[in-house]
Structure formats: C-alpha cells, structure tokens
Structure 1
Amino acid sequence: MTAKRISFEFFPPKTSEGLEKLLGVQQQLLARKPAFFSCTYGAGGSTRDNTLNTVAQLREHHADTAPHLSCIGEGREELVKLINGYRDSGVTRIVALRGDLPSGMGYAQGELKYADDLVRLIREVSGDHFTLEVAAYPEMHPQARSFADDIAHFKRKIDAGANAGLTQYFYNADAYGFFMDALQKQGCDAPVYPGIMPILNVANLIRFSNTCGADIPRWLASKLNDLKDDEVAVRAFGTEIVTRLCERLLAMGAPGLHFYTMNQAAPTLKVLDNLGL
C-alpha cells in the first residue's frame, strides 16, 4: 500500500512559555515522521510576527514547516515581501488562503480578494519554488453561493498553480467522498488531504464549528452533550470517533491526513496509534 502522508497544524503561541511547550509537542510528533508542520496566520495578518517567529523556531529542528499566508487585509507589496522572505529563509511550502478580516472590519476591497489570486502571485514571484497547499471544504464554504460554485473555486486554485488541498475538519466521511467525486467530474485530480480535528472539549468544538461552518451530526452532538461534563469520557469517545473516521477516509482512498493538533500531542498520537501510523 502506498504510504499515507501525515501532517500537523499548530497555531502561533502568544508567550515564550507557550512556544517552549509547543517545541516539546513538536518533538513528540516528529517521531511519526510527518511530511510537514503548518502554522496558522491570524485574521488580517494579526499574528504575522508570531507566525514568522514560530515558523523559524519549528524549522530549527530540521522540520519542513509551512506558514499559512492569507491575502485579505494585506497589500500586494507586503505579500511579495513575505513571499520573498520565506523563500530566502529556505521555506519550501506555503498554505495559501484567502483568510478573514479581524472582527468588525467588514470586507476589504484589497488588491487580492481570493486565494487563487494569492496562488497566482506566489507563482509569479517565486515560480515553482514552493509547494502550495490550499483550503478545501467538503461541506461547502459557509460563504459559497452553492456547492457547484465552491467546487469551481477550488478548481480555480489548482488551475492557478496550487498543488494540493487541505480540508476543513468534518465528521461525515461521505461529505469527503462526494466532494472528491465532484472534483473528478470537473477534471480536477489534485490530491485533497482530510483535515482531522480531535475532540477535546464539547463547548469549544461547538463554537469552532459554528464559526467555520463544520457540521456536527445530530447523533454525535447528542452523545457529546451527554458526556460534556466528563472530560475524560469526552476525550475517550472522541478518540474512538476520530479513529473510525480516519479509518474510513483512508479506506476510501484519502492520500493522507492533516491533523489540527490544537498545539497538543497526546490526542493526535492516540489516533495515530489506533491507526498503526
């Protein structure tokens, strides 16, 4: 069987203590030989400096680290500076996103409005230097006008020069299968890696899901509601559910898995142990 690609996502810590802890988490996850780590970029570039610093620290351990880069709220000149800076520092992979504006700022009429615009800019500035990952939404982006429009937009990102997709997290494997079928019908055969979110805290999961449009199936929400006051039970049940989801996705032909670690090692490691990865 072809080896499956595994990758892990972090968010930039706000303190030096948080960064030190994150580097310890990285060391635990490095043992699983991930293809890369990624590091998120706050709305409107609000965590730009922390992202730059975190990426530099993660790369000191000889780990391929992909900074997230979003174009909303950023000028073209500043984006070119960031792209060149990453290239010059040896970064070879970027997660290229449209991104969000900080709360209350409305929609920016910037020079680059969509992720495919950013992909084209990166290719214009740096050629094929970077492997470019872009976002995919098996349950449809919450701002998309229709599922067909969302499929077309993903294909535009690939046609602009992106190499692969990383999905928003989901708990319905059929959503991924339908998404991949729809892409293939449009002649798009780029690899799309499912994003996997461990279940750690019920209130946080519901809040995240409401924000990003990820669906929590009714049966799963009901079970989690019954367990919500018992953190140990929530995590044990969550590990079982996420393991089953990953098993099915890999059986369906998913080329690998991208884990949203929430800057913790143990929940992801338990799933990987269950999967034998």
Structure 2
Amino acid sequence: MPTPSISFEFFPPKSLEASFRLWDCVSTLAPLAPEWVSVTYGAGGTTRELTREAVATLGKQFDLRVAGHLTCVDASREETMEVARGFRAAGVTDIVALRGDAPKGSDRFEPHPEGFNNSLELIAALAADDFNVRVGCYPDTHPEAAGADADIAWLKRKIDAGASEAISQFFFDAETFLRFRDRCAAEGIDAPIVPGILPIENWKGVSKFAAACGTTIPDDLAAAFEVAVRDGREDLLAIAQAAELADTLVSEGVEHLHFYTLNKPELTRDVCAALGIAPRSALSRVA
C-alpha cells in the first residue's frame, strides 16, 4: 500500500507558554516532511495578528510551506485582503478560506457591513489575486446546510469560484468520507477532496466539538472510549482508531491526509508512525 502524503493544522499561540507548545509541536512533526501546514484563524478573527506572525515564523524557521487561514468574520473586505497581502509579504501564497464561525456572543454569522458576504466572495477575491485557495467541506452535513445535497452544491460553487482543493471536517467513519467523496465526483467536483483526521486527545472535549459541528459519533466508538477513559487507555485507543481510519482511507485510494493536531503532536506522530510515515532523518539513515 502506498504511503500517503500528509499535512498538519496548528493554531496560533495566545501566551508565552502556548508559544513554546507550538514550537515543540512543529519541531516534533516537521521531520515527517508534510507537504504543507496551516495556521488557524480564531473565532471572529480574534487571532488575526497572531496567525500572521505564526505563519511568517513557521515558514522562515522550519522551511515549511505554510497556509494561513482567513475568514469573512468581523472585518471589511479591505481589512481581510490586507491580511492576505501580509501573508504574501511573508512569502505565503497558500490560504485556507472559510466563512468563519459567528463571533463570541452571537448565534449566527452576520457579514460585516463592508465585508465579504460569504466564502464564495472571499475565494473569488483571493483567487483573482493569485493565491492558492483551499476550502472546507463536510462529510457529515454542515449544521446550517439544508441537507447533504445543498452542502455538496455549495462546495462545487467554492471550487468554481477558484478553490483548488477541499479539506474535510473531521469524521469518525471512513464510509462517511468515502460516500461523500463519491457524491462530490458524481456532481462534477474534480478538485482533490482531502480527509481531515482528528486524533482524539480528549474524548469529552472532542464529543462536545463533534456535537457542535454536526459530526456523527458511532455508538461503538463512544462505548469504546468510555471504557478506555475509565481504564486509562484513552491514548492507545485514540492512536488505534485514527490509524485504522487513515489506513482504510488509503486502501480506498486516498493519497493525502490532513491532521488536526490541536498543537499536541504526540498522537499525530504516533498515528503517522503506524502508517509507516517516518522522520526524514530516519529515512536517510535507512537509505
């Protein structure tokens, strides 16, 4: 079975301690030779400057291809494109373009009076300015979508607007992603659809996150984690679950895996090891 290419998502630090945690995370995972890495954008654009700083630093210090996240939330078009120009000034031309979640205290997205109304407008503006744009997609239907068909139709509009690739929200059942991938292809979406994998570092926290974003939790997985948490084997189950999920995807023709690291590298590193993805230094020694 071929070894997949990989990418990682990090989030920008909000404190000195978090900065050390980010650098430790990147130092641990960079030797695995990811094709690219991304840095998230906080809810409501709250980490706008931190994201820009982290993107610039990761590219320079670790020689990584970095993508900055960018959203439509709480900023004018000019302010948003200024952030994009800041990415370019740092040598970054890859952007993950998202509508973004509602700012804290709001229960729904409302566009800025002078901002982008939705992700389609943001994607088109970035693509017209020669950025390589990636977007999100949802194997489990987005909570705000009218249904699965509407979700896929919206993704097609994102690709038609100029996006080159879609990265999925995390999911727990390989069949969920594979069915989604096949339906996208049937609707004429020919851009790569990359599965997003979240190694479960904290079952309680991930369960809440899954409920908020509409990700289905299989009953057998929930039962297994309840036992694993009780017995102190949560990490072992997390590695096994994510590795099995990834292995199934690769066996079904998936060529690239995107990992949500939560700035905690150990589980992601161990899952990659289970897939036969070794650090470059180890590969050179074997060669």
Using the size of structure 1 for normalisation, the TM-score is 0.94
4+ runs deviating over 4 angstroms: none
Q: Give the Cα–Cα distance (whole angstroms) in 2 for the partners of residues 75 and 85 of structure 1.
A: 15
Tell me the equivalent position of 2:103: 102
2:80 counterpart letter in structure 1: L
* Counterpart amino acid of residue 35 in structure 2: A
Residues 167 and 196, structure 2, Cα contact 8 Å, conserved in 1:
yes
Partner SS for 1:18: helix
The answer (yes or no) to whether the contact 2:3–2:276 under 8 Å persists in 1 is no
Give distance in 1, aligned partners of 2:119 and 2:231. Answer: 40
In structure 2, distance between residues paired with 1:269 and 1:89 = 28
TM-superposed CA distance for 1:145, in Å, is 0.4
Equivalent residue letter for 1:115: S
Look up the SS of the partner of 1:229 in the other structure: helix
Distance across 2 between alignment mates of 1:74 and 1:137: 25
Match of 1:172 in 2: 173
Q: 2:121 aligns with which of 111, 117, 120?
A: 117
Tell me the TM-score normalized by structure 2: 0.91
Distance 1:66 1:186 in 2: 27
C-alpha separation in 1, matches of 2:29 and 2:111: 40
Instruction: Report how many residues are paired.
Output: 273
> SS where residue 118 of structure 1 aligns?
helix
- Give % identity: 38
The 5 Å alignment of 1:39-118 reads: 39-60=39-60, 61-105=62-106, 106-110=108-112, 111-118=115-122
The CA deviation at 1:198 is: 0.5
Counterpart position of 1:155: 156
Aligned-residue offset at 1:113: 2.4
Give the letter aligned to residue 40 of structure 2: T
Closer/same/farther in 2, CA of residues 107 and 26 from structure 1, 3 Å limit: closer
Structure 2: segments with no counterpart, 5+ residues: 278-287
Q: State whether structure 2 residue 8 is matched by structure 1 residue 8.
A: yes
SS of 2:230's partner is coil
2:41 is paired with a residue whose SS is coil
Structure 1 residues 265 and 107: CA distance shift in structure 2, 3 A:
closer
Q: CA deviation at 1:188?
A: 0.9
**1:208 matched residue in structure 2:** 209
How many Å separate the matches in 1 of 2:137 and 2:22? 26
**Quick one: distance in 1 between partners of 2:202 and 2:33?**
27
| Residue of structure 1 equivalent to 2:275 | 275
Render the CA deviation track for 1:70-106: whole Å, top value 9, x for unaligned: 0122211101211122112210211000101222234
Per-residue deviation, 1:166: 0.7
Task: Give SS of 1:198's match.
Answer: coil
Kept after mapping to 1: 8 A contact 2:238/2:267 = no
Secondary structure of 1:17's aligned partner: helix
- Contact 2:103-2:109 within 8 A present in 1 as well: no
